[in-house]
Amino acid sequence: MELAELNPNLIYTYADYLKWTFQERVELLKGKIYPMSAPSREHQDLSSYIQGELYDYLKGKNCKVYAAPFDVRIPRKLKDDTDIITVLQPDICVICNKSILDAKGCLGAPDIIVEILSPSNSVTELSNKYDIYLEAGVKEYWVVSPQNKTFLMYTLQDGKYIPSRLMVAGHSATSTVLNGFSLDLTALFNSMD
């Protein structure tokens, strides 16, 4: 089966997703298929740096960090594969509630999700995924732009996301979820050199 053979007007589930054998990576956002492009070198530099910082910080702690490809399934009412219509592969996620981890990945909302923008995915990341992460209850949603060298952190408070100021090199991004964790943005953006 080829990706082009799928009907873009249908609503697909995680059960469908598990049957697909085409080479392209995709995400399901509320049942709709979104192809994923290969990440750029700068994207991978940023992802590796953030994952490394989080991994080092989380050693000996209860939370775990995962990088794409890693399926995050957001259930609706049932946790059955045929009822799940949102399957995401965030660039990085931190999960502190290990009960939502299983052999397939994560079933539920991670505590932190990091998305690194690319020219082809900015609308998906900033609009569609924002809404999904908010509805699911992701506590922090980090958006990193390699093109603009900016960092924005959304923090969940009373059912709404409160955005940080737009941060750049010279700033530090301090997590409210991971007590004592701060990301040096100068070092982050220098990792692309």
**For the segment 126-182, what is each residue's pLDDT rounded down to a tens digit?**
788 999 999 999 999 999 999 999 999 999 999 999 999 999 999 999 999 999 999
76 band by pLDDT with thresholds 50, 70 and 90: confident
- In order of 22, 41, 74, 76, 94, the CA distances from 70 in angstroms are 17, 19, 13, 19, 11
pLDDT at 144: 96
Mean pLDDT of the chain: 93
Domains along the chain with CATH numbers: 40-190 (3.90.1570.10)
What average pLDDT does the segment 108-130 reach? 85
pLDDT at 2: 85
pLDDT for residue 20 is more than 90: yes
Residue at 119: amino acid letter: P
How many angstroms from the chain centroid is the CA of residue 58? 18
Residue at 22: amino acid letter: F
Q: What is the pTM of this model?
A: 0.93
Q: β-pairing, 25-29 with 140-145?
A: unpaired
pLDDT at 124: 64
